[in-house]
Amino acid sequence: MCSTWSHHADDDAAVAQVDNATPEHWNLATYEGVRAATSTLMPGPWTPQHITKLARYVSRQQNALEEYVQAGCPGTDTMPQHPFTPTISAKLSAQQWGTQIVATTPNETQQLVSVLHWLPNDDIWDPYSGFGSISAVLRSEGREVTATDIHPAFSDRRHGPVDALQPAEIRRFTANVIVTSPIFKLLDIAIPLAAEGRELACFHTPLHYVFDAHPARRAFLKKLSKQGRLHILLCRDKGPLGRRNVWVIISDSPLTLQRRIKATDDSCTMTFAATHD
């Protein structure tokens, strides 16, 4: 069974391409940097107050992470081993790590794994790996995963800290599949930036990100849906913070989505009512 939902009417905004015209770097701790990123990646009526709020959030996170690293990353040497249980995920998410990290529960990732067709040559990247809960599930299923993070204690040592909110860093990795849970407050930058040019990109987001979308975000999702490149999967189980989440799945073409999504009557599978006006 497929549940269909709709959204408020809104003008179609152009979904920007992340190409050579996109700058290599923007300073998201400043008003100008956030304004440049949002106007490039998800153009729309973003208010000065919202842009200022995001810039201040990034600035606080950068300062807190710098202080945490200077203190020697306390607590990371006693991290529990995988697999994470929902209880452990909730406990870790409640702790301070120099930046906000919310662990995706194993059940949430396993549900995504079960509805996708995976190919033997898939090159999978989790650019916001945090505790590594997503990559742990994928690896347990026999998948090769590159797991990176801006947090030096949680990023793959081969690559070091990776700021996936920067275009230059996104271009550095050529993985055809992304499975990740970006920083929730910065999803409107993280999602369009990471999805561009990928065969398949799967983003773990709060339920309200889709159901209570900002007009610019509604236009972004509406265009993807009209193109046949969007699939929404509602997580059956609550996340570690006690709320329901979804997987926003974006493909490079309608054919890719058709091939990748298994035929199912899963009541958690949702469609975006792009034709609603």
Per-residue model confidence as pLDDT tens digits over 26-85: 999 999 999 999 999 999 999 999 999 999 999 988 888 888 788 887 766 655 555 555
b or e along 69-108 (b: 16 or more beta carbons within 10 Å of the residue's beta carbon)?
eeeebeeeeeeeeeebebebbbebbeeebbbbbbbbbbbb
pLDDT above 70 (res 214) = yes
Decide: 274 and 4 in contact? Cβ < 8 Å.
no
Which two three-digit tokens encode residue 121? 């040559």
| Spans of all domains in the chain | 3-272
User: Which among 252, 256, 257 is positioned nearest to 271, based on CA atoms?
Assistant: 257
Decide: 226 and 172 in contact? Cβ < 8 Å.
no
Which two three-digit tokens encode residue 80? 């529990």
Report the predicted TM-score, pTM, of the whole model to 2 decimal places.
0.85
Q: How confident is the model at residue 87 (pLDDT cuts 50, 70, 90)?
A: low
pLDDT mean across residues, the chain: 82
Which two three-digit tokens encode residue 215? 């007009």
Decide: 257 and 231 in contact? Cβ < 8 Å.
yes
The CATH homologous superfamily to which domain 3-272 belongs is: Vaccinia Virus protein VP39 (3.40.50.150)
Which two three-digit tokens encode residue 78? 């006693």
